[in-house]
Amino acid sequence: MQSAIAERLRLFVEAGIAVTSELSLEAVLQRIVEAAAQITRAPYAALGVIDRSGQALERFVTTGISSGQRAAIGDPPHGRGILGVLIHDARPLRLDDLAGDPRSVGFPPNHPPMKSFLGVPIMLRGVAFGNLYLTDKEGGFTDEDQDLVTLLAAQAAVAVENARLYESATRWSRQLESLNEIGSALIGELELDRLLHLVATSLRELLTARVVAIALPVGDEMRVEAAAGEGAELVGWTFPRARSKAGRVLARARPERVDDVLGDPEVEPASARRLGARAGLYVPLLVRERAMGVLIAHDKETGSGAFGDDDMRLAEQFAARAAIAVELSERVARDALRRVVAGQELERRRLARELHDETGQALTSILLGLKGVEEASESEPVAEAARNLRELVVATLQDVRRLAVELRPKALDDFGLVPALERLVQTFSEQTGIDVQLESRLGDERLAAEIETTLYRLVQESLTNVVKHAHASTVSIVLVRRDGKVTAIVEDDGRGFDQAEARRDGLGLVGMRERAALVGGRLTIESSAGAGTTIAVEVPVA
């Protein structure tokens, strides 16, 4: 008798050590079940973990039942019948005959028969975490069994808590490591593609998501720039901005969690099916509240695939870093473009000056010389030849001056935007016969040189398009300054065009947009076939 008690005690201590020496929750639960079976000598033991609702079981760990038997039984119990009694009333429950109890709902087919029953709750800080169940002990369970299992349950609670803490601590440190890695990459890595790929890959791992992708807006579409997981081949895929969930999240600049993708009216069923997506996270890449793109995650590998609040927070952290990467690369591209444009203007100014001063002077001298020859000549054929030459030189001189002005009008530097445009418009009308009205409501104050140049070039390019494409008879140009913004509007009454069909490789409109963007401005085009064209540029001014 004495030795039997000693033996049970030894088993119990061993069980306690085994349970508390595991670090993963999965292994802890399995050890608890095995220990409970061992110390009570019950053939079957199980542990049911109660779900968030507190009404049903989300996990069921067993011992004594083979995997084959488990498969034959089918779904694990959800927590009805006797198991439900313990869920709702967290107190030990002991029965001699399970099936004989009126609260029992019976066993499913293929379930081994079980007679005696002992159930004990595992309490974590006053809340039932789950229950330990032992069944079918020969002769039934004793008071002593109940005491020992209750003690084990208390130890199990500590072990569960530890494992949870450990798991969240390792999760945290892995998240920190990843975020750090991306932080250093942001400093060292210049290739946007590679940065976004790193963000997608690390986040997918941490979320245990099936796929994580990053899409950036390109015109009125979204383009997948990076993807990790099952969707890796999505890179390069484009979809419409207006009719996609990601596009809408981009427009709203607010993250969203969708537990049932197919049930969301904003999700395009075709693309959801293409991805086989059930649940999704859509997080905008925000820089100063502006959305630069959208990070998309689909289907957690566990449970229903839905993401939780923690997942959302993590995705937001990663999206913030991706946003910085996108913004940096845009800024680098913008700086490069700005330098090119500034260099171009400088070069044009130099060429214009050279044409005007050097070439213009030389031609003027030739003109004077020819005049001398013409006057001094006594032979009529020579005088005639000199006259012809002189006309040629006059025409060339005009060409040179026109070219110089086109390259870079001196008036733009010396007198400002409006006088320069007045000259441009006058020459344009003379050459094309198109009537142009220029109206300026800018006042006398000069604008920043960069803005004046930009607006001048945009009007110049618009007029070039009018001659080339519009077949217009009149053009109106209006300049307005209001609410810290200068707007230039060029409107023609020509044949207009369909923007969807306009050539996209035309450098004109694209270049105009870029130039406007360089000074923080925006270009809008309104045009339809037969209805003329209106180009408006809006630029913020200090």
Ligand X SMILES: Nc1ncnc2c1ncn2[C@@H]1O[C@H](COP(=O)(O)OP(=O)(O)O)[C@@H](O)[C@H]1O
What is the total count of residues that contact Mg ion (CB under 5 A)? 2
Q: Which of ligand X, Mg ion, none lies near 533, with the C-beta cut-off 5 to 8 A by kind?
A: ligand X
Q: Which of Mg ion, ligand X, none lies near 373, with the C-beta cut-off 5 to 8 A by kind?
A: none
CB of 507 to ligand X, least distance (A): 6
- Residue 85 or residue 463: which is nearer to ligand X going by CB? 463
CB of 510 to Mg ion, least distance (A): 10
CB of 479 to ligand X, least distance (A): 18
Pair 279, 304: CB distance under 8 Å: yes
Pair 96, 103: CB distance under 8 Å: no
Alpha carbons within 13 angstroms on the beta-carbon side of residue 131 total 29
Q: Which of ligand X, Mg ion, none lies near 386, with the C-beta cut-off 5 to 8 A by kind?
A: none
- Residue 349 or residue 495: which is nearer to ligand X going by CB? 495
- Residue 453 or residue 465: which is nearer to Mg ion going by CB? 465
Contact segment (CB under 5 A) with Mg ion among 219-227, 276-284, 336-344, 457-465 equals 457-465
Binding site for ligand X (CB under 6 A): 465-466, 468-470, 492, 494-497, 502-503, 506, 508-509, 533
By beta carbon distance, the residue nearest Mg ion is 508
- Residue 93 or residue 466: which is nearer to ligand X going by CB? 466
- Residue 414 or residue 498: which is nearer to ligand X going by CB? 498
- Residue 331 or residue 504: which is nearer to ligand X going by CB? 504
CB of 503 to Mg ion, least distance (A): 10
Q: Can you spell out the DSSP letters for 129-180?
A: EEEEEEE--TT---HHHHHHHHHHHHHHHHHHHHHHHHHHHHHHHHHHHHHH
Radius of gyration of the chain (CA): 40
The strand order across the sheet containing 435-441 reads 435-441, 474-482, 485-492, 533-540, 522-527
Task: Residue 474: name the closest of 533, 523, 427 by CA.
Answer: 533
- Tokens representing residue 88 in the block: 């709702």
- Residue 235 or residue 472: which is nearer to Mg ion going by CB? 472
Residue appearing with tokens 């990790």: 228
Q: Which of ligand X, Mg ion, none lies near 469, with the C-beta cut-off 5 to 8 A by kind?
A: ligand X
Cα 329 from chain centre: 14
- Residue 1 or residue 500: which is nearer to ligand X going by CB? 500
CB of 486 to ligand X, least distance (A): 21
CB of 457 to Mg ion, least distance (A): 12
CB of 468 to Mg ion, least distance (A): 6
Pairing of strands 435-441, 474-482: parallel
Residues 6+ apart with CB under 8 A from 142: none
Sites for Mg ion among residues 462-521 (CB under 5 A): 465, 508
Residue appearing with tokens 């087919």: 109
Burial (0-12, 13-18, 19+ Cβ within 10 Å), 315:
buried
CB of 176 to ligand X, least distance (A): 49
Q: Which of Mg ion, ligand X, none lies near 229, with the C-beta cut-off 5 to 8 A by kind?
A: none
CB of 438 to ligand X, least distance (A): 17
Q: Please tell me the distance from the alpha carbon of residue 12 to that of residue 63, in angstroms, as a whole number.
A: 17
Q: Which of Mg ion, ligand X, none lies near 350, with the C-beta cut-off 5 to 8 A by kind?
A: none
Handedness of CA 430, 431, 437, 439 (dihedral sign): negative
222 three-state secondary structure? strand
Q: Which of Mg ion, ligand X, none lies near 497, with the C-beta cut-off 5 to 8 A by kind?
A: ligand X
215 three-state secondary structure? strand
**Residue 71 — φ and ψ, nearest 5°?**
-65, -40
Pair 119, 48: CB distance under 8 Å: no
Burial (0-12, 13-18, 19+ Cβ within 10 Å), 13:
exposed
- Tokens representing residue 501 in the block: 């069909």
- Residue 232 or residue 502: which is nearer to ligand X going by CB? 502
- Residue 24 or residue 464: which is nearer to Mg ion going by CB? 464
Q: Which of Mg ion, ligand X, none lies near 503, with the C-beta cut-off 5 to 8 A by kind?
A: ligand X
- Residue 239 or residue 497: which is nearer to ligand X going by CB? 497
Q: Which of Mg ion, ligand X, none lies near 38, with the C-beta cut-off 5 to 8 A by kind?
A: none
CB of 465 to Mg ion, least distance (A): 4
The strand order across the sheet containing 256-258 reads 238-240, 221-229, 209-218, 290-300, 280-287, 256-258
By beta carbon distance, the residue nearest ligand X is 508
**Residue 537 — φ and ψ, nearest 5°?**
-120, 130
CB of 522 to ligand X, least distance (A): 17
DSSP state letter for 63: E
Q: Which of Mg ion, ligand X, none lies near 146, with the C-beta cut-off 5 to 8 A by kind?
A: none
Cβ neighbour number for residue 445 with a 10 Å cutoff: 8
Q: Which of ligand X, Mg ion, none lies near 423, with the C-beta cut-off 5 to 8 A by kind?
A: none
- Tokens representing residue 508 in the block: 């004109």
CA angle, 117 then 122 then 126, to 5°: 135
Q: Which of Mg ion, ligand X, none lies near 492, with the C-beta cut-off 5 to 8 A by kind?
A: ligand X
CB of 466 to ligand X, least distance (A): 5
- Residue 481 or residue 495: which is nearer to ligand X going by CB? 495
428 three-state secondary structure? helix
Give residues in contact with Mg ion (CB under 5 A).
465, 508
